[in-house]
Amino acid sequence: MDPEDVVATRLARYALTCDARDLWPEVSVAAFRACQEAVAGVAAGVLAGSDVPVTLAPPRGADARALGIAAMAAGMGPLLGYWVEVGKVRTDPALAERLAVHLEHGRRRAARMREELERVLAPLGERGIELVVLKGLDTGYRYFPEPGTRPTADIDLLVKPTDRRAAGQVLSSLGFSEEQSQQPQRGHWTLPSPGRVRSLEFAHADDPWHVDLHHSLDRKLAGGIVASVGALAPADVQPFLGFALPAAVLSPVTLLAFLAIHTSSHFYAMSSGKLVELALVIRRDFEGRQERWRAVGELLARHGSARFAYPALSLAERLLPGLIDPGVLGALRAATPSRLRRLVGGLDPGTAQRLHPYPLAELLVWAASPGQVIGAALRRIWPRTNQGFLSRRQVATIYRVRLFRTGIALARSLRLR
């Protein structure tokens, strides 16, 4: 079978099972988790400023391929490759070669995504649409050692709600079409024939991409609960001159609150790469800046979002002790329901990313009242998107998938006994 057909087949099965054993059947669960821990340990060592190169080696029961896969899943492959290249990480030749491939594709991807971003910025600017560049195409340029060390899957842009329609018209004129999105605060725009995912062992430079057009920084979490940092004010953005065309990015306080909520929102998929991203932002913008820490705490408290930022910031602190201002972290913890604090306490910075399988329990992670529990349960019974409730036929399909997942999980549990 053609390698891309193998990738497509595995991705299709994973979409049904949400179990990474269907993506990488050659890598045992134990080996994958040991590799996750190794990646996080090396990241912590480098960020802590080790005076000597930090050693990265496949843990017992794993090999270079398994470690490379875990690094890719964590969003750490290109950054590890860079650290090997500049001498901050020491490893064996086989693993160094694999990580060099991650870095090469990361650099090619970054160049490609910048070109695509600037192709989109030009007509939006001509229409007078003000926009803010979000996520990887922002942090990759401002906080990572080079853009290619921060994997970027998509182009994320924020526009004013009043500019949403005009921005959609511009994207349509460029050949994009809007697809259904689970997030009511954004539109998901794709090009015709975007291509297929090329590899499951590293983030390929030519993998498909799309534009996420946001009109709010609010984030809908599992169970239908919304986390907010409020409407943007002029002080929440600042100009960025790193592209060929003018653009804006989030200012430090808003950026940290947004990234913490976004990382936490994928509760059982908080990867070490996302925690490293938080660490890099904090190291550059918050060390010795008590007024900024106070502003973050006040922003989250003002919008009732402290509990939504706490999981990511708590794990970032455990990855790199002393990273988070203790007063702010304590206030976030105090504002977090006890059940959520216990769930966060049961996670580890290296293995918080649960992929074998992805837990469906995330639906109730954020519920802080009986009403929210009931609301999450109702959404589970009859799902909906930002376009409204699904049809009976769509719901029937979802239930068939759920039964399939249950059967697979049961068969695997019996096999392991």
Q: Is 282 in contact with 256 (CB distance < 8 Å)?
A: yes
Report the pLDDT value the prediction gives residue 384, as an integer from 0 to 100. 55
Instruction: Give the residue-averaged pLDDT of 168-178.
Output: 95
The pTM (predicted TM-score) of the whole model is 0.90
Higher per-residue confidence, 35 vs 16: 35
Mean pLDDT confidence for 271-280: 98
Tens digits of residue pLDDT in 214-237: 999 999 887 778 999 999 999 999
Q: How far apart are CA 151 and CA 271, in angstroms?
A: 13
Quote the tokens at residue 29. 């669960």
Computed over every residue of the chain, the mean pLDDT equals 89
User: Distance between CA atoms of 247 and 226, rounded to whole angstroms?
Assistant: 27
Chain position carrying tokens 């794709």: 190
At 68-116, the pLDDT tens digits run 999 999 999 999 999 999 999 999 999 999 999 999 999 999 999 999 9
* Domain 3-364 is found in CATH 3.90.1200.10: no
On the question of pLDDT at 162 being above 90, the answer is yes
- Residue 415: the pLDDT is 52
Q: What is the C-alpha to C-alpha distance for residues 196 and 174, in angstroms, rounded to an integer? A: 21
pLDDT tops 90 at residue 67: yes
How many Cβ atoms are within 10 Å of 264's Cβ, its own excluded?
Answer: 27
pLDDT in the model for residue 399: 44
- Pairing status of strand 177-179 against strand 186-190: antiparallel
H-helix or E-strand spanning residue 373: helix 370-381
Give ∠ CA 296-223-380 in degrees, rounded to 5: 170
145: Cβ–Cβ under 8 A, 6 or more apart, which residues? Answer: 79, 82, 86
Report pLDDT for 186. Answer: 87
Which residues have a Cβ under 8 Å from the Cβ of 84 and sit 6 or more positions away? 56, 90, 91, 96, 99, 100
Question: Which residue type occupies 330?
Answer: G
The confidence score (pLDDT) of residue 206 equals 96
Domain map (residue ranges) of the chain: 3-364, 370-416
pLDDT in tens, 345-401: 999 999 999 999 888 766 678 876 666 655 555 455 555 555 555 566 654 554 455
Whole-number percent of the chain with pLDDT over 70: 87
Q: What token pair was written down for 404?
A: 């399939």
Mapped onto helix, strand or coil, the DSSP state of residue 383 is coil
- Residue 417 is predicted with a pLDDT of 46
Phi–psi pair at 384, nearest 5 degrees: -145, 160
**pLDDT tier at 414 (50, 70, 90 boundaries)?**
very low
Contacts of residue 127, Cβ cutoff 8 Å, sequence gap at least 6 = 166, 167, 170
pLDDT at 404 over 70: no
Is residue 76 within 8 Å of 49, Cβ to Cβ? no
**Higher-confidence residue: 412 or 321?**
321
Please calculate the CA angle 111-279-143 and round it to the nearest 5 degrees: 30
The angle, 0 to 180 degrees and rounded to 10, between the axes of the packed helices 64-73 and 93-126 is 20
